[in-house]
Amino acid sequence: MTDITNLNTRVEKKSFENNYRELKTEAMILQKKGLPFMMASVVIWSAVTIVRTLPVDIMTKNLYTFYCPGLLIPCVIVFSLIIGARPFAKRSNPFNKLGLINTMNQMLYLLIVMWAFNQKPEAMLMLFAMVFGAHLLPFAWLYESRTYLVTSIVTTFGSMIISIFAPELYVGLFMIVCQIVMSVLLMIECRKLDRAQMSKDEL
């Protein structure tokens, strides 16, 4: 009786693990590991950097900087069409939902940036960059990607260090470079994932 119970437990555990792996892989393939969002972030940080060069006062620059993330969804849609991603598909997959939650939690962190808008305007861009970098960390687990892990740490600490020793313009340039490199690395990861899935399907 005990052997049968243990056997059933092992079968159920194996079934759960297989289903878990299938759902997670499906989410990574459909969303292209969040690549459209990272490509969109290149556009956003380029816009932010341009804003920081405008001949206006710091408060106006900060206000315009807040407008730049409004480019996110239009850019994600365009880049998704280009690379064949479906980031908003299959909401029934819990890993797709988790990806959306990980993206939206950045909105809560932006309260810190909003505080800096009035109280510490010269530090707003640094905090904005640090919030962006920090929110990438959970995706390292979701998409099983070292690219997210390394980029999250590098951008968070890098933007802080650059802000201490260099003009804020360099923060924007640093973020653009980081996002371009990240997008290229994620593209490589996605191709490896697609090839692995094709090989599995052939078997």
The full set of domain ranges for the chain reads 27-202
* pLDDT single digits (tens) 72-130: 999 999 999 999 888 877 667 888 778 777 777 777 888 888 888 888 899 999 999 99
> Is the Cβ–Cβ distance between 80 and 87 less than 8 Å?
yes
Output the pLDDT for position 200. Answer: 67
How far apart, in whole angstroms, are the C-alpha atoms of residue 173 and residue 75?
Answer: 19
Query: What DSSP state is assigned to residue 89?
Result: S
In which band, very low, low, confident or very high, does the pLDDT at 71 lie, cut at 50, 70 and 90? very high
**Structure tokens, 168:** 């804020």
pLDDT of residue 7: 43
Mean pLDDT of the chain, nearest integer = 86
Please give the backbone phi and psi of residue 153, each rounded to the nearest 5 degrees, phi first: -70, -45
Contact by Cβ (8 Å): 178, 151: yes
Does the pLDDT value for residue 18 go beyond 80? no
Report the pLDDT value the prediction gives residue 11, as an integer from 0 to 100.
44
CB-based contact 79:39 (threshold 8 Å)? yes
Cα distance between residue 100 and residue 95, in whole Å: 9
Closest by CA position to 48, among listed 67, 32, 74 = 67
